[in-house]
Every structure is written in structure tokens, then in C-alpha cells.
Amino acid sequence: MSKNTHGATSALIQNAPAAASLREFSFSDEDFKGLAKLAYEHAGISLSDAKRNLVYSRLSRRLRVLQLQTFREYRELVANDAREIENFINSISTNHTKLFREDHHFDHLRSHVAAPYAQAGARAGSMRIWSAGCSSGEEPYTIAVVLKRELRSFHNRDVKILATDIDTEILTKAARGEFAPNATTDVPHGYQSFFKNIVVDGQEKVTVEDDVRSLITFRRLNLMERWPFRGLFDAIFCRNVMIYFDGPTKANLIERFANQIKPGGWLYIGHSESLTGNHPQLKPVGRTIYRKVG
């Protein structure tokens, strides 16, 4: 089974019976703890015991590809090979996402960010939006069509969306911007026309127009590392990423996001995420939406 962007299959992997005796490779406590430590050190990802089967099944594929016999050999390899660290992180990251996921965020983006920007006309300056942890791109493409619907044309507009993820494989997919035909099922009626059907290698797909696509720049960025930004963002989307981090890692990230948003700008987080306590600069203004004050 390959790593996928669909929650249902991920859940199947996570709930698979332990079946340690049926395993192709022996997988000790020490192996799991060693790999969990690496995930934490390199990506901030906290792997609880409940993720043991998921880690086993995702990484077994790497062992087969590399023709290794044991997880112990894999641990030695990944600890000493930067290229394999990349494959390791790609394998363990969970990429579930969809177009217009948590659509109340996009209603808010339209009314509080895109519409005022459109109304400001030539007086409006630049608009910068960051999709942090963009996975296969459904989030930044959704942001892009919301902007397109309000602005109609990007001519003489300085609008850019930065979409970043730690997972290099998923970013390659994101940059293609091609989705399965049923990906638009939950796209609200008013946005359906921004997606068009295409055929790629004999397969039906949906995609967006080039002017929408060209708003987005995809880059690899590990949120745990230094961020190379010169300017601030009007809005940051970091949704369903912090659920993989522990408390101190989340708190530190929220602090860094607060410093990276323009005064009056917005932070959108995932449905099961929250800011711990009252943040002095990020005021809650709606369901999982925060505004930077001061």
C-alpha cells in the first residue's frame, strides 16, 4: 500500500492489528524509539506508541527498495545518510488534504482579505499568503481560486502565494496541480468553473487555469529550521500540521508565526488545533481564525 493523501486509508494503516509475528521485518522497541527520535529531531514530528504500525508499514517499503534485511540496518543508514533522512521524513509524514477543506476559512479569506484587496484597486499594495504544510497543494490552489474569483484578473496586482512542505515527494505532486476528477466534489458551486478537466497520459484529471497556478510558488521548507523570509505575510495558513507536534514545539511555532504576520493579518489553523492560552498578539476572531494585533 502506498502512502496516500486519503484519510480513510491512513486510518486503516493506523488501526491495523499489531500482528508482530506476521511481520516481514523484525521491528523492536529500540527500532521504533530510535526512529521516533529521528522524526522529532529532524521534523518536530512526535510519534506516539499508537503510530508504531504506521511507522512499520510506511518504512517497510524503504527497506524493500534498499534491499535491507532489518530495521536495525535501516536505522544505521538513516542516521548517517542525509538523502535517506529526506526519504524517511517523506515516508512518515501524513499528507491528507482536500480542496476547500474547512471551507469557513475560505469564506473568511474571501470577505476579509480578498474582497478588501480587490476593492482597494490600484491603491492596494502587495498581498502575500503562506500555506505552511501545503501537502499536495489543495490548500494553496483553493486560496488561489478564492483570490481569482474576487480579483478576476491579476494584471497589475502584486499577489503571491508561497506553499511549503517538508515532504519533497508531495511537493512534486503539488507543483503539477493535477487532481483526481472527484477532487472537486466538495468545491462550492461558485468556484466549480475555476477547475477544468484535462487528460494526462490517458487519465482524466482536473486542474486550474495557468494564471491561477502561476500565483503559487512551491518550496521545500522544514518549519523547524530557519525561515528565509524578508517580508511579512497578510495571512498564514498552517492547518493540520501542528497536530503532529508536541506542546513546546507548537508554542514555539505559534510565536514565530505571530512574528511573521503583518499587523492586522490573519492566522488560520486546523479544526482540532488551538493556541495554548491567550496569545498577546493573536486574537481569536472566529473558529480557528486569529488576527494579529499590535
Ligand X SMILES: C[S@@+](CC[C@H](N)C(=O)[O-])C[C@H]1O[C@@H](n2cnc3c(N)ncnc32)[C@H](O)[C@@H]1O
Which residues participate in catalysis according to the annotation? 58, 165
Choosing from 142, 184, 240, 260, the residue that interacts with ligand X (CB under 6 A) is 240
223 Cβ partners below 8 Å, 6+ apart?
44, 132, 133, 164, 166, 238, 241, 253
Closest Cα to residue 141, out of 107, 171, 119, 174?
174
Is 166 a binder of ligand X (CB under 6 A)? yes
Binding mask 51-90 for ligand X (x = CB under 6 A): ----------------------------------------
- From 61-69, 72-80, 104-112, 235-243, give the range in contact with ligand X by CB under 6 A: 235-243
Is 101 a binder of ligand X (CB under 6 A)? yes
- From 66-74, 113-121, 189-197, 236-244, give the range in contact with ligand X by CB under 6 A: 236-244
Is residue 52 left, alpha or beta, with left meaning phi > 0 and alpha meaning psi from -120 to 50?
alpha
Nearer to ligand X, 195 or 218 (CB): 218
Is 270 a binder of ligand X (CB under 6 A)? yes
Instruction: Confirm or deny that 223 is annotated as ligand binding.
Output: yes
In this structure, what are the phi and psi dihedrals at residue 181, rounded to the nearest 5 degrees?
A: -55, -35
Choosing from 129, 212, 216, 241, the residue that interacts with ligand X (CB under 6 A) is 241
Is 139 a binder of ligand X (CB under 6 A)? yes
Instruction: Confirm or deny that 209 is annotated as ligand binding.
Output: no
E strand segments, the chain:
126-132, 158-165, 195-200, 203-208, 216-220, 233-238, 261-269, 282-286, 289-292
Exposure of 143 in the CB half-sphere (CA atoms within 13 A): 28
Is 224 a binder of ligand X (CB under 6 A)? yes
C-alpha cell at 272: 482540532
- Tell me which residues touch ligand X (CB under 6 A): 43-45, 93-97, 101, 133-135, 139, 165-167, 170, 222-224, 239-241, 244, 270
